[in-house]
Each structure stands twice: as structure tokens, then as C-alpha cells.
Structure 1
Amino acid sequence: MTPTSPSMWNPRTRRGFRYLYVVDAVTLFALMVAITVVRFGLDWPTYPWNHYLIGFAVATLLHMVVYYFGGLYEFEQRLGHRPWLPRAMLLTFMAVGGDATVTLLTGRYLMPRANLVVLAVAGAVLISFNRWGARRVRLLRAGKPRVLLSGTPADIDSAEEHLADAEPDAVVAGRLDDPSLIIPEADRLGATELLLLSGQPLETIYPEPLGELEARDIGVFRRITPADTLLGLQRSRQIGGMPFVALREHALPVCRLRFKRLLDLAYLALLAPFALPITGAVAAYVRIVGGRGVLYRQERVGRGGVPFVLLKFRTMARDAELNGPVLAVSSDPRVVRGMDWLRRTRLDELPQLWNVLNGTMSLVGPRPERPQFVSRLEREIAGYGRRHDVPPGITGLAQTQGHYQTDPGYKLGHDLQYVVNWSPVLDWQIMAKSLVVMARRNAR
């Protein structure tokens, strides 16, 4: 096995990168103690020392949570890494704000107030230093990055010159002009990074062999062309003085997906006092108007392409799909009389709050489709499967911008825009607009 083989430094099997959890926690706790000792010596004011030590432990835990969900523990490729200090500074200031919030809510000072100012600055610097140290340790243990260059001979020659000048820690392991040979060449050469240099179509790398390369922790970067910059591309990385964008099989890292899940549970707790009585009232209406069979269960495709059972109030006749699945259309004749307003206002989706609670759905995300339609759309529309990177939602960007009859290709554009740009603020905007859309459709 070569010293740079991916299995030598795989965060899924080794703990080298995960030791940062312990290192950061010890660093933060020790920093809080050091700041207090420098300011007051061993005679700490107001409270006994054990009060402050408990406060330091709580503050350390809060900081670690913020760092985790902020992405500081996601595996990073060694080439084109972004500067740590700006990210660490932003997250540390957020965590310090959390420390202050705990004090306001509980009346318990986790540390002397002036310490927070020093902690915000010194903490960010030390957390960034820890990552610099981890990078150096990783270089010593795993060896230099081994780069496989793919493109035209002229582009490869130019890239080799740039790497030799600006990336002394990188080794050019090989050259490749046939994308179909990426996997065997990467294995043969023990490559840790792949640079796509000549504007190869994304279809040559996505979804495969990108997924297989990512599973082996081989970083994949595509050089940004002048035409790409005209589209407003902003998230670039500099490798050897050349602009690249990192390609990933999935748009959101695990930490952000978990953060989204926690937000969903928090929103459900806030919505429950209002949603439960409304759901009960709608269920009674459906029972009276439509008869037995209030709930309708249907198989849909969820995150990662895994099927799940979606719940909704039944608004169509029981034999609506006697001849097989049919996409819904505007003014669908299969809808039971008196139920159309439930579909217009999306109130028929209320039972999906249970899907959100059990984790098969999210409040906001791409609407889940049926397996029969997904298999066809994946064949017809390139990149359709990327919408399954996040859990499907009760509402989504495509629902606030379009209608039932909106072309699937246009819907996919909205869905992918949501997946790539997800943030809590974007979810708030979509939820607020969904309420406006529901009110407008109910007024018709």
C-alpha cells in the first residue's frame, strides 16, 4: 500500500481528523480558565471557582455544537482548502452570542462578561491554529497530495507548471485524456485529487464516477472557465493559482442535514398548538364530505432515493388511479366535489407533519414524487436524482414558484437551486411565501 493510499487517511475508518473534537474542546476550556486566571489570578470574583468551571464546561459544549453544525468538522481535501480563520471567527462570535443568551435566559453567568470579548477573538485564532496543525499532521502521516490531471495535453502542461510553482506540497501522479479511465488510473496511481482541466461536460463525471471517487475520499475539482465566471459563479478555490470549483456527489454535508433536522423538530414544537386543531377540523370535514378513508397513503421517493409512505387527506375518488398512476393536473376531474379547495390551499398535506416528525420528510424541500415517475424523469432529465440530496418537503421553492402543471424540468431547476443554496433563512422565506400562496388560492 502506498503512503498516500486513500485508506491510510480515511475519516470513516481512522480518527485522525476526529481528534479535533477533543483538541478543540480542551483548547476552549483551557482558554476560558487562562483568561480568568490572567484577569483575576486565583481569587475569582463573585462566585466560587467550581461555579465558573461548570459555566466553562457549558460554554465549551455550546461552542462545539456551533462549530459542528457550522461545518468545522467536515472532511476537507488538502488542495484548494478555504481559509479557516474567517469561518472560525464567524462561528466563534455566534457561539459567544449563545453564551450571552444563556446568561440572559437563566440569570447565570457562564464566565465574567469581559471574558467573552477576549474569548471571541482568541478562541477563533486558536481554533484556526488547531486546523493548521491538523493539516500538517495529516501531511506527515499521509504524505503529499497525489494529483491526477485530466484534460487536453496543452491544459495539462500548463497545470503542471502552475502546480510546480505554487503547490510545492503536491505531486503530479499522472496525466489522463480519457475520462472513462478515471477510476482505474486513480487506483493505479494512488491519486488523492483529480483536476478536470478542459471544461469536460458534467455528464462525464456526474453522478458516476463522482460518487465512487467521493467514497474513496478523492477530491474532484473542475477548472472554472471564463464562461463560468459570466454566470456569476462565486464559490471558487485556488489551486496552483488556477480557479477551480469542488464537485461533490451530494450538495449538503451531513452536519447541515442534521441541523436542518433539528430545525424541523423545533418548528414542529412551535406549530403543534395551531396545527393539531386545524388538522382535526380538516379530518372531520374530509370524513363528512368524502366518507370513509380519510387518510390516503402513497409510496414516494425520499432522501437518497429511498421509498417511504407519504400521508395526506384523501381528496380524490377511490378509483382515481384504477388504471395506474397519473400525474395531477389543474382542475383534475378525479377530485371529489367540495375537496378542490383543500388541494388549492395545500391543507390536504397536513398529515405529512407526521412524516416530518418521523424523519422521512422535512417542512421545506423538493416535493416527493412517485417511484414510477422518478424512474422516468431520471432517464429524461439529467441531474434529476440530485434533488434527493435532501429530505423531501411539504412545501418547496418549486411549489411557491409554480403549480401542479409546471413542467418537471422547470421544477427541477427550482429544486436544485434550493438544494445548493439551502439555509434556514431560505426555509423561512419559502414558508412565509407558502402561507401567502395558500391565502391567495383560498380567496379564489
Structure 2
Amino acid sequence: MTEPLATPRSHDDAVDGDPTGELPLLARLNRRGFRLVMVMDVVVLYGIAVGTMLVRDGFTWRNYPVPLYLTSFAFVTLLFVATLYFGGLYEREPRLGAPSVLPRAARQTLAAGSTFALLTLVLTPIANELGLTTQRALPIPIINLVVLIVLGAMATATNRRVASMVRTRREGPPKVVVVGDAAELEVARQHLAEDAERVRVVAELTDPSRTVEEVLRTEATDVVLLAREHLDPLYPDVVEALDRAGITVLLRVTARETMFGLERVREVGGLPFVLLRSQTIPVSRARFKRFFDVTVLTVAAPVWLLVLGAVAVHQLIVVGRPLLYWQERVGVAGRPFRMVKFRTMVLDAEAVGGAQLAEREDPRVIPACRWVRATRMDELPQLWNVLRGEMSLVGPRPERPELTAAFERSIPGYARRHELPPGLTGLAQIHGRYHTDAEYKLGYDLQYLVNWSPVLDLEILFRTAWVVIARRI
């Protein structure tokens, strides 16, 4: 029933399903993450930087050559755009109930401005030492930078407002299928009628099982669920199919749901809703996570190379060869890969019984290697998998294909943990143990996916280090 939804139809991303391959240049760039609003942001941000200088100093700019100023303006503009990208402001957002962009834009421009100021402090002494300049390496007056942060946030929010208006004019307002019982539909009908210019209701359902049928019939762009009970028949398969097709799914928030500590509530016709996503992290943030991994590995290389070498010598002495153990695991998007670790079990440990989860006092573990497993030093060779992009420093731990298949059959939504590359450590690892139930670990994994940030990754890495030290002692 969900297969016809595999190709988007009404959103800009519908070009992904073009069977001819003969797409316009802009459509092809769009598929690769390029947005026309990026060009708008570059022009406006650079214009603000130059315009502020002209307002303050006219055409006679003090202290530095004009080409150096212009180069600095170009650098800060690219830094701002990169920050907006990694902050998710170039992701294709659903239009229905879209929250204000200004608060997010303000946070991103403030982060970009702070990063630029920090880079100036770092690069200036280096440039002075090299004899390239005797003053600031990136000359932008502080007042100009503050103006760029404030006006840049307003300008980028305005650009997205303009882009949304153009999209609505081209496609019309969102076409909505509303799902609820008779009383809920009556209340929703009254509220949505007041918002008719922004929302067009194309179908009302009391039977959630007919959702896909009505979406196909009406070519709807959005589905609104008026109570959590209507989500149960749709989760996870139908919700995932709708999400892949570019169909937005919203769930109305009641007093009960507010106890879950929900954030980013959307408003449609005066009613509160939360956006349901089968994909919990946008592409831009996934790429930023990869950038974060590479940066941390590079900076910490002297430490982890030393520890890795010491553990390798210990293992070679007490275990012998083979030193490493390669095993197929399930990675991002369910793709298999070969994970490596130090061997800590006897040879042919699974000759009897096949694939099985590790236990607290696993008899297959070589006694001299118990501390290696307890401190998780046996996982250190997986830094090779991280460098290859098959794994991440932090994320859901990878499982065997046989075990993953069994979990997916018995635990609804288990496949969602494969949205990101599996991790060397994770939220489930600092709270759980080897023997922690898979469904409990899934709760930690999904919580991590929804709340991911570089700060959270750093917190998990530091807490993992503490767990390692505490267990060793």
C-alpha cells in the first residue's frame, strides 16, 4: 500500500523521481543540496558588510587597504553561510505551521560572528609572525561585525520568507488530509476555516487506515493527526513512507503530550502540533557531524595513537595472533560494513550457538582481556572505521545483521537507529551495559538522534572517558 508513495510528487524535491535524467540545471543542483536562497544570502550578507563600511567611512576606508577589507568581507560572508548551512537553515522545511525563522537565524549569525572573532584572535599573531601584516589578519571593525550579526539575522529570515511566498504562489497553499474522530474533526474544521488562505483541507478521515489512499487520491502535501491514537496504525511504516514521499505529518499536541517535554511546537489554525519525522537529523547536520569527527580525531591523534599502540602490544602478548577481529555489522541506512576490534575471545567463539549478544560474565572472553572489554579498549581499532566514514565517534552501536533483523521484527521503529553512522560509543553505552535490553538501548539511541549536537557528542565522549577510568579502577 505504501509503495506508490516512494516518489515525491508535489514538493521541490520531486525532481529526484525524474525518470529521464534530463533535468534543468537548477533542479540538478537542488538535488545536491544547493538552494537559490544561498545566493540571496551571499549577496545580502556581503552587501551588509560593504554597506556598513560605506555608511561609517564613506569611500575612504581607514587603516587597511581596500582589497584586504573586501577579502575579509568575502571570508566572513562564507563563514556565515557555512554556519547557516550546518545549522539546518538550507534544509527544505515543511510549510504547514512553519515557525519563525528569525530566532534560529539570530542564533546562527551570532555563532558565526563569534567564530569569526575567535579566528581573528588566532590568525593575527600567526600572520604577524610570518610578516604578512603588523595588525589584524582579518580587518573588520567590531561595530561592523555586530551590525552584520544583527542585520544578517533579519536579512536571512527575510530571504526565507520571500522564498516561502514564491513557493506558495507557485504551488498554492498546502493541501491537507485531516484524521480524527467526528468531534475532533468538528473542532479542527472551525479552526482551519479561519486559516483558509494558508491551509486547504482536501479530505477528512475518521479511519486512519485510509490515509495513504486519500493522500494519493487528493495529491495532498500534508497529513494532520488530531490525536495520538490515530498515529498508532500508521507508525512506523506508513509515516516513513509518507516522509520519503515528501508528505508532512503533524500530530496535535494535547495536555498529555506536553508532559513529554516537547519542543518546537507548530501552530496551524490556532491549534498546536508537532512535526513527525522518520528522518530525525537533516543532511546538513549529518555532514557537520562528519566534519566534527575528523576534527576531533586530528586534534587528539597524539593521545589515541599512543593508547592504541599500548593496548595492541598488550593484546599481542596475551592473545597472540590474530590480533584483530573483523566482523560484519549493520551501518548507516542499513548497509553492511566490516567492523574491526581487538580480539578478546577465544578463537571460533561462535562455533557453537551462532551469533549471540555478549553477557556480563561471558565465558568466551579470555581472562587476561576482561579489563580490555570492561574499559572498552577493544573498540579502539574502530577508529579506522571512523576515518573511513563507516562509523562515527558517537552514535548507536552497530549490531550484527542477524541480530538486527530479529530486532527489527520484534521492536517497532528499530531501523530508525540506522539514520546515522554507528558510533564508537553512544548514549546507550554511558548509561547501559553489554547486557542492557535492546529495546531500552533503542530509547537511548533515538533520544540521541533527536537531540544531536556537537556539545552532546563532546559530553558523551568525556563521560565515556570517565566510565573507562572508573571501571579500570
**Secondary structure class of the residue paired with 2:237:** coil
**Paired residue for 2:185?**
156
Instruction: Specify every segment of 5 or more residues in structure 2 that has no aligned partner in the other structure, as ranges.
Output: 1-6, 16-26, 125-136
2:12 pairs, out of 4, 10, 13, with 10
Rounded to whole Å, the distance in 2 between the matches of 1:363 and 1:6 is 33
**Paired residue for 2:226?**
197
1:337 pairs, out of 360, 367, 390, with 367
Instruction: Specify every segment of 5 or more residues in structure 1 that has no aligned partner in the other structure, as ranges.
Output: none
Q: Does 1:66 align with 2:83?
A: yes
1:350 pairs, out of 380, 384, 387, with 380
Rounded to whole Å, the distance in 1 between the matches of 2:342 and 2:232 is 40
Task: Give 1:170 deviation, angstroms.
Answer: 1.3
Task: Give 1:6 deviation, angstroms.
Answer: 5.9
Rounded to whole Å, the distance in 1 between the matches of 2:77 and 2:13 is 24
Task: Give 1:33 deviation, angstroms.
Answer: 1.0
Rounded to whole Å, the distance in 1 between the matches of 2:121 and 2:196 is 49
Structure 2: which amino acid aligns with 1:156? Answer: L
Task: Give 1:11 deviation, angstroms.
Answer: 3.4
Task: Give 1:427 deviation, angstroms.
Answer: 1.4
Residue by residue over 1:105-135, the C-alpha shift from the partner in whole angstroms, topping out at 9 and shown as x without a partner, is 2221342232111111111111111111111
TM-score for both structures, normalised by structure 2:
0.89
2:212 pairs, out of 166, 169, 183, with 183
Structure 1: which amino acid aligns with 2:456? Answer: L
**Secondary structure class of the residue paired with 1:47:** coil
Aligned residues of 1:6 and 1:192 also touching (Cα < 8 A): no
In terms of mean alpha carbon deviation, does 211-220 or 28-37 score higher?
211-220
Aligned residues of 1:206 and 1:249 also touching (Cα < 8 A): no
Rounded to whole Å, the distance in 1 between the matches of 2:260 and 2:362 is 39
Rounded to whole Å, the distance in 2 between the matches of 1:337 and 1:94 is 50
Rounded to whole Å, the distance in 1 between the matches of 2:199 and 2:235 is 25
2:97 pairs, out of 80, 83, 87, with 80
Aligned residues of 2:236 and 2:412 also touching (Cα < 8 A): no
Aligned residues of 1:250 and 1:389 also touching (Cα < 8 A): yes
**Paired residue for 1:26?**
43
In terms of mean alpha carbon deviation, does 150-159 or 263-272 score higher?
150-159
**Paired residue for 1:102?**
119
**Secondary structure class of the residue paired with 2:13:** coil
2:198 pairs, out of 169, 173, 184, with 169
**Paired residue for 1:131?**
160
Task: Give 1:7 deviation, angstroms.
Answer: 3.6
Rounded to whole Å, the distance in 1 between the matches of 2:11 and 2:92 is 11
Identity, % of aligned pairs?
Answer: 47
**Secondary structure class of the residue paired with 1:99:** helix
Aligned residues of 1:10 and 1:217 also touching (Cα < 8 A): no
Counterparts in 2 of 1:199 and 1:8: CA distance versus 1, 3 Å: closer
Task: Give 1:366 deviation, angstroms.
Answer: 1.2
Residue by residue over 1:180-215, the C-alpha shift from the partner in whole angstroms, topping out at 9 and shown as x without a partner, is 222231121121111011323544223222222222
In terms of mean alpha carbon deviation, does 419-428 or 123-132 score higher?
419-428
Task: Give 1:86 deviation, angstroms.
Answer: 0.8
Counterparts in 2 of 1:356 and 1:138: CA distance versus 1, 3 Å: same
Q: Does 1:374 align with 2:404?
A: yes
**Paired residue for 1:272?**
301
Rounded to whole Å, the distance in 1 between the matches of 2:8 and 2:170 is 12
Rounded to whole Å, the distance in 1 between the matches of 2:261 and 2:11 is 35
Q: Does 1:40 align with 2:27?
A: no
Task: Give 1:285 deviation, angstroms.
Answer: 1.7
Rounded to whole Å, the distance in 1 between the matches of 2:291 and 2:196 is 40
Rounded to whole Å, the distance in 1 between the matches of 2:367 and 2:8 is 61
**Paired residue for 1:251?**
280
Structure 2: which amino acid aligns with 1:311? Answer: V
**Secondary structure class of the residue paired with 2:50:** helix
Residue by residue over 1:74-118, the C-alpha shift from the partner in whole angstroms, topping out at 9 and shown as x without a partner, is 111111111111111111111111221222122213422321111
Q: CA RMSD, aligned part only?
A: 1.7
Structure 2: which amino acid aligns with 1:27? Answer: V
In terms of mean alpha carbon deviation, does 78-87 or 147-156 score higher?
147-156
Task: Give 1:253 deviation, angstroms.
Answer: 0.8
In terms of mean alpha carbon deviation, does 179-188 or 14-23 score higher?
14-23
**Paired residue for 1:431?**
461
Aligned residues of 1:58 and 1:110 also touching (Cα < 8 A): no
Task: Give 1:377 deviation, angstroms.
Answer: 1.2
**Secondary structure class of the residue paired with 2:367:** coil
Task: Give 1:38 deviation, angstroms.
Answer: 1.0
Task: Give 1:145 deviation, angstroms.
Answer: 1.1
In terms of mean alpha carbon deviation, does 103-112 or 342-351 score higher?
103-112
Rounded to whole Å, the distance in 2 between the matches of 1:82 and 1:392 is 31
Report the count of equivalent residues. Answer: 439
Counterparts in 2 of 1:151 and 1:91: CA distance versus 1, 3 Å: same
Aligned residues of 2:105 and 2:156 also touching (Cα < 8 A): yes
Rounded to whole Å, the distance in 1 between the matches of 2:387 and 2:139 is 33
Aligned residues of 1:70 and 1:91 also touching (Cα < 8 A): yes
In terms of mean alpha carbon deviation, does 393-402 or 57-66 score higher?
393-402
Task: Give 1:172 deviation, angstroms.
Answer: 0.8
**Secondary structure class of the residue paired with 1:319:** coil
